[in-house]
């Protein structure tokens, strides 16, 4: 059993703040081969996540605390929409469809999301990263 509470989120936030990437994942699935990838992702402002897509799976983010912008792009690299996740404003999450180019911008220290996508985990390849 893993309790998803302030103690865990605070620990992850502390780790993310000193991590070179300014983010840290906490996997809730048993292995990278699991058919469902469930994780907490603690992120700090300034973290860089390339514009990318997942061809074979949708990706769902639920924000547990903090604020986050999710930016969507066209195949040609044009910004098509921006969505701010902010639980204090009643916007709790987003489902990014399979094949949709996207990235995030962290707006507040201590931001933590719950992320779900189909597995198994596969690192992003060059063909799934978009230069904008």
Domain ranges of the chain: 6-130
In CATH, the number for domain 6-130 is: 2.60.120.10
Tens digit of each residue's pLDDT (9 = 90 or more) over 77-117: 999 999 999 999 999 999 999 999 999 999 999 999 999 99
At 106, phi and psi to the nearest 5?
-80, 130
**Confidence tier at 132 by pLDDT (50, 70, 90):** confident
**Confidence tier at 124 by pLDDT (50, 70, 90):** confident
Q: What angle do CA 130, 131, 132 make, to 5 degrees?
A: 110
Tens digit of each residue's pLDDT (9 = 90 or more) over 75-84: 999 999 999 9
**Confidence tier at 122 by pLDDT (50, 70, 90):** confident
**Confidence tier at 5 by pLDDT (50, 70, 90):** very high
Q: What angle do CA 77, 123, 63 make, to 5 degrees?
A: 70
Mean pLDDT of the chain: 96
What's the rounded mean pLDDT across residues 11-31?
A: 97
Q: Where are the beta strands (DSSP E) in 5-126?
A: 23-27, 36-43, 51-52, 59-65, 68-73, 79-85, 93-96, 101-106, 111-118
**Confidence tier at 44 by pLDDT (50, 70, 90):** very high
* Buried/exposed 9-44: b ≥16 CB within 10 Å, e otherwise: beebbeebeeeeebbbbbebbeeeeeeebbebbbbb
């Amino acid at each position: 059993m893993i309790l998803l509470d302030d103690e865990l989120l605070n620990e992850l936030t502390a780790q993310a703040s000193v991590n070179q990437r300014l983010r840290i994942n906490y996997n809730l699935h048993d292995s990278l081969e699991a058919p469902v990838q469930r994780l907490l992702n603690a992120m700090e402002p300034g973290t860089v996540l390339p514009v990318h897509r997942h061809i074979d799976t949708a990706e769902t983010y639920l924000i547990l605390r903090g604020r986050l912008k999710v930016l969507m792009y066209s195949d040609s690299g044009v910004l098509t929409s921006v969505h701010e996740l902010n639980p204090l404003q009643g916007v709790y999450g987003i489902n990014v469809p399979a094949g949709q180019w996207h990235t995030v911008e962290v707006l507040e220290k201590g931001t933590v999301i719950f992320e779900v996508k189909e597995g198994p985990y596969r690192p992003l390849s060059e063909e799934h990263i978009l230069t904008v």
